[in-house]
């Protein structure tokens, strides 16, 4: 991607947050005669074929605006979040000679969007940044006064400027400021006069799939992106095209995500539309999550792990990708190890949980706990796994005789942690490090009793049950332990300290798989 375009797209997030906070704090200033209401739809200047599109509401009002302001005050630890963000923007734009209050806020409208318009054939993606303008004349004057504005040009009746040194083009038209590569800008101008993403049935369904107030929105045309990437790589015909076609059929058609805010949390709602998978999130993963050790700072629950993995293998094998040797690899593994993956492992696996614990980088351990549907089959599988581990060069396999363990072994290798594998009643456990193994086998306290987990889980809403948890304070401590006196971490730490628990849950509605993520702030 063009250097300046990439810089502009990275700055979009900062710009959006700056404007949103200014508005939420009641500090937005209006000035000049408006050429529009500043609410032009950015998607109306994006080609309908664009594979990737993101949008931000720059001036949220009502409940959303109040929630954004409340979250910003906590994350930025200031009573003036708008001023703090404007200061950060000015620092980032110093080399461009811009300030937010003087050069951007007077003309900036309510919405902004950014898109990859094409992947191109030269290895460089083309794209465009669309900012709604409430005063086109003022926006033009600001651009013309910049030393990086570039030479004047015209396309399809629209005047624009091109900086030949870095390939960045910029135009003001129809209540929008367009910034991008020259081809991206041309595509945006054409879209604004004809077939745009705003009229796309795919975008409409993506928006309808995740309704509600939003601070940000993301749209990915998954199959269109794969096809465009294949075309760029010269794989648009022949066997490669056929293979990609079958692979695309197993992917969702589109992915959409919406960013929102509660007074003490940031929320993300996502949907994968047109997914052919039959896997269901189920309640089992959520129940398992609450039974994992309370010391877990990262935890994931998966309902009916064996069936989920078996369905995935079946889908991959039947989608045309079997030609890559999936089934052949399974047969080869069975011949060499004596383990039939489906019969000896997946058949007895029920709900599962994965966790990571440890209060320092030297003490990090992890564990996998799986409910067994057949304890005898699990014990037999442990015996086969022990023989397989013993046949691996560089490992030392030993017996595991611990109370509660029916069959088990340990594995040691140079430079790595000791691995514990056990069948214990109706559970199967794999853990790295003895503390993690002991907690996986018989946790003294469970994650369901942790206040950070319970507080975040309560914000998911009744339609979702948590299947993922991240303890941000502990993660921040671990990053600090690894970073030491690194100045970059020292600058980021105050912002990281504002976050508490992060939880996520998922559910399925027909051919739409949904997920919600909640990051709580303190």
Sequence ranges of the domains in the chain: 3-198, 284-447
pLDDT of residue 236: 52
Q: Give the mean pLDDT of the chain.
A: 85
Q: Quickly list DSSP for 43-74.
A: GGGSBTT-SEEEEEESS--HHHHHHHHHHHHH
Distance CA(164)–CA(161), nearest Å, equals: 9
* pLDDT at residue 276 is higher than 80: no
The segment with the largest mean pLDDT, out of 55-69, 167-181, 321-335, is: 167-181
Binning pLDDT at 50, 70 and 90, where does residue 277 land? low
* 72 contacts: CB under 8 Å, gap ≥ 6: 17, 21, 24, 81, 85
Answer with the residue of higher pLDDT: 96 or 189.
189
Alpha helix locations (H) across 196-301? 201-209, 222-232, 238-249, 284-291
What would the mean pLDDT of 336-359 be, rounded to a whole number?
94
Answer with the residue of higher pLDDT: 93 or 9.
93
Per residue in 282-299, pLDDT (tens digit) is 678 999 999 999 999 999
* 256 contacts: CB under 8 Å, gap ≥ 6: 206, 207, 209, 210, 217, 218, 219, 220, 270, 271, 273
* pLDDT at residue 9 is higher than 50: no
* pLDDT at residue 33 is higher than 60: no
**254 near 221, Cβ under 8 Å?**
yes
Per residue in 206-228, pLDDT (tens digit) is 999 998 888 999 999 988 887 77
Full-model pTM:
0.84
Per residue in 418-468, pLDDT (tens digit) is 999 999 999 999 999 999 999 999 999 999 999 989 988 999 987 899 999
| Tokens of residue 137, six digits | 């004349």
What would the mean pLDDT of 363-367 be, rounded to a whole number?
94
Answer with the residue of higher pLDDT: 150 or 208.
208
Give backbone dihedrals phi and psi of 414, rounded to 5 degrees, phi first: -65, 130
Compute the half-sphere exposure of residue 252: CA atoms within 13 Å on the CB side of its CA. Answer: 19
Angle at which helix 62-76 crosses helix 81-92, to 10 degrees, equals: 70
Q: Quickly list DSSP for 469-489.
A: EEEHHHHHHHHHHHHTT-HHH
| Tokens of residue 309, six digits | 């993995």
Distance CA(335)–CA(337), nearest Å, equals: 6
Binning pLDDT at 50, 70 and 90, where does residue 24 land? very low
């Amino acid at each position: 991607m063009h250097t300046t375009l990439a810089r502009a797209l990275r700055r979009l997030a900062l710009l959006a947050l700056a404007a949103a906070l200014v508005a939420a704090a009641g500090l937005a200033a209006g000035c000049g005669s408006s050429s529009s209401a500043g609410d032009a739809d950015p998607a109306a200047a994006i080609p309908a074929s664009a594979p990737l599109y993101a949008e931000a509401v720059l001036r949220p009002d009502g409940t959303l605006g109040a929630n954004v302001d409340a979250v910003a005050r906590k994350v930025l630890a200031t009573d003036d979040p708008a001023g703090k963000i404007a200061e950060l923007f000015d620092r980032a734009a110093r080399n461009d000679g811009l300030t937010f209050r003087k050069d951007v806020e007077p003309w900036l409208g309510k919405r902004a969007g950014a898109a990859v318009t094409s992947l191109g054939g030269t290895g460089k993606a083309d794209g465009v940044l669309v900012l709604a303008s409430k005063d086109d004349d003022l926006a033009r004057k600001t651009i013309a006064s910049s030393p990086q504005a570039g030479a004047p040009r015209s396309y399809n009746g629209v005047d624009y400027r091109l900086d030949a040194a870095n390939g960045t083009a910029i135009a003001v038209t129809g209540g929008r400021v367009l910034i991008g590569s020259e081809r991206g800008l041309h595509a945006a101008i054409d879209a604004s006069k004809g077939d745009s993403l705003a009229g796309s049935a795919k975008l409409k369904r993506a928006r309808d799939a995740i309704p509600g107030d939003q601070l940000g929105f993301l749209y990915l045309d998954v199959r269109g992106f794969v096809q465009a990437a294949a075309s760029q790589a010269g794989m648009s015909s022949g066997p490669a095209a056929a293979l990609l076609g079958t692979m695309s059929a197993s992917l969702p058609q589109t992915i959409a995500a919406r960013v929102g805010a509660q007074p003490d949390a940031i929320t993300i709602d996502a949907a994968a539309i047109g997914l052919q998978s039959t896997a269901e999130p189920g309640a089992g993963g959520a129940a398992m999550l609450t039974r994992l050790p309370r010391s877990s700072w990262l935890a994931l629950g998966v309902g009916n792990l064996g069936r989920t993995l078996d369905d995935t293998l079946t889908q991959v094998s039947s989608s045309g990708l079997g030609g890559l040797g999936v089934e052949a690899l399974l047969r080869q593994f069975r011949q060499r190890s004596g383990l039939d993956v489906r019969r000896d492992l997946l058949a007895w696996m029920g709900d599962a949980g994965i966790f990571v614990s440890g209060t320092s980088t030297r003490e990090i351990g992890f564990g996998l706990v799986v409910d067994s549907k057949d304890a005898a089959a699990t014990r037999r599988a442990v015996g086969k796994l022990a023989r397989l581990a013993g046949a691996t060069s560089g490992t030392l396999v030993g017996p595991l005789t611990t109370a509660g363990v029916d069959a088990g072994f340990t594995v040691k290798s140079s430079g790595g942690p000791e691995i514990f594998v056990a069948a214990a009643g109706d559970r199967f456990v794999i853990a790295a490090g003895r503390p993690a193994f002991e907690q996986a086998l018989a946790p003294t306290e469970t994650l369901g009793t942790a206040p950070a987990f319970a507080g975040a889980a309560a914000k998911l809403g009744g339609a979702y049950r948590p299947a993922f948890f991240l303890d941000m304070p502990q993660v921040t401590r671990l990053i600090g332990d690894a970073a030491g006196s690194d100045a970059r971490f020292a600058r980021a730490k105050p912002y990281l300290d504002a976050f508490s628990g992060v939880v996520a849950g998922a559910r399925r509605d027909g051919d739409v798989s949904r997920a919600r993520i909640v990051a709580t702030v303190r």
